[in-house]
Amino acid sequence: MKHVLAFDVSKGKSTMVIYNHYKKCEFEGEINHNKMSFKVLNEKICEINKLDGQAPEIVFEASGVYSRPLEYFFQKEGYAYHRVSPIEANLQTATMRRHKTDKSDAHELAKSHFRTERSKTYQEDAYYQQMRALTRYYDELDSEIINLFSRMHAILQLSFPELERLLSKRSALFLNIVQLYPHPDEVLACSRTVIRNRIKANTKKNISLARADAKGLELLHAAENSFPAISKDDVRCEQVRDYATRIADLKDKKEKLIKQMVDISKERIEYQVFLSFPGIGEATAVRLIGEIGDLRRFQNHKQLNAYVGIDIMRYQSGNTFYKDKINKRGNNKLRKILYFMIQTMIKLRKKTNNHIVEYYDKLKTQPQGKPHKVASIACVNKFLKVAFHLITHNITYDYEVASTCS
């Protein structure tokens, strides 16, 4: 057995212990996450490497952003390591009586490594790390847009509630009109021609003069019948205008992020496979790659299911049986993308041939038809199974071929 280096990670530092192959502690100390400490750590690892003729086993518990500097150091120096999830670490180090401190946690992690078979952590290519960062950035912008829409809605109910009934809230035209006319009095102060010209001039997408005129006329009729709860000089009119501007900017940023992800993914087989499925566009394809990462690190599609969190959780004790349900311990962001992807596929059933949608219809129409959500998750399972097969064999989706291999 090799030497074992175990780390209990906290903010900006780690408690480190070194155990020899006799399961005896040789070193206990603390390292800071900086260049000097990592240089000393590297020297220690090199000494052990010379002594044993092989690199030591390295194990630490994943602790979000705090363990990233330590992990990046191991990746940069080319050391293999074992990154353990907090749930795994808790189960593997559990004892009847436990004294919890940073030092004791490091010791327990090292001791458990002698009796537990842990697979080395798969080190993903930099491409997948960038894609995950871009996808998470995209999700943050999306959450911010939802919050801003909620705030804007609350003020519009006071200043110009008819606007939300006049136009689709998610359209660029709606955001432009909110910026131009957050209050009906501002509409009534302008002529039909001025309103038409302002709408056309401030809409980035090509809008015909006739459509701009039609929207301007609808806006005038809505303003004439509107009874706002605040005046046009109220500060909240400026506030709602600001919200609309920020939402428009964030939506532009989201589009740029998708374009950036597409540009670096065009030659990747995963992108080509996902894009070949009916109902999957560029945005969904790159977000799937960002959340799944390197799919080849999974040995089979069942491991991928567990990563997503749709593997079955079953409980039975004596005569007590609970209804089977999905685990939900996996990647909830990825699960959400996959669920809505299936809904899009179902909506496009009349336009495309898709065996996953056919499977959904089969589940719904069998003697004891499955509920919508149950059938949708079953379709997610089928999609992951087919996608895993196609990506690992470097082939794109084909309706006939995919139906036979699923």
Give CA–CA dist 359/336, Å, rounded.
Answer: 20
Count the neighbouring beta carbons within 10 Å of the beta carbon of residue 353: 11
Alpha carbon 198 to chain centroid, angstroms:
39
SS3 313: strand
Give CA–CA dist 230/154, Å, rounded.
Answer: 12
Q: What is the token pair recorded at 148?
A: 């801003």
Please name each of the domains of the chain with its CATH number: 4-123 (3.30.420.140), 128-262 (1.10.287.4070), 267-405 (no CATH)
Q: How do beta strands 4-10 and 57-61 pair?
A: parallel
Q: Collect all residues with Cβ–Cβ distance below 8 Å to 206 and sequence separation of at least 6.
A: none
SS3 13: strand
SS3 content of the chain, % helix, strand, coil (to 5): 60, 10, 30
The reported pLDDT for the residue numbered 103 is: 87
Give CA–CA dist 172/402, Å, rounded.
Answer: 38
Largest CA distance in the chain: 89
C-alpha distance from residue 62 to each of 65, 66, 83, 86, 129 (Å): 9, 8, 6, 6, 16
The reported pLDDT for the residue numbered 281 is: 95
Instruction: Answer yes or no: are the C-beta atoms of 270 and 127 closer than 8 Å.
Output: no
Question: What is the crossing angle of helices 172-180 and 235-265, to 10°?
Answer: 150
Instruction: Answer yes or no: are the C-beta atoms of 17 and 25 closer than 8 Å.
Output: yes
Alpha-helical runs (H) found in 183-295: 184-188, 192-201, 209-225, 235-265, 269-276, 282-292
Count the neighbouring beta carbons within 10 Å of the beta carbon of residue 125: 10
Mean pLDDT of successive 10-residue segments in the chain (406 residues)? 90 94 92 95 94 92 93 94 88 72 88 89 91 96 96 96 89 92 94 92 84 92 94 96 96 96 95 95 96 92 91 65 69 94 93 91 87 93 93 89 59
Give CA–CA dist 135/323, Å, rounded.
Answer: 34
The reported pLDDT for the residue numbered 97 is: 62
Instruction: Answer yes or no: are the C-beta atoms of 287 and 138 closer than 8 Å.
Output: yes
Q: What is the token pair recorded at 334?
A: 């990825």
Question: What is the crossing angle of helices 372-392 and 301-308, to 10°?
Answer: 130
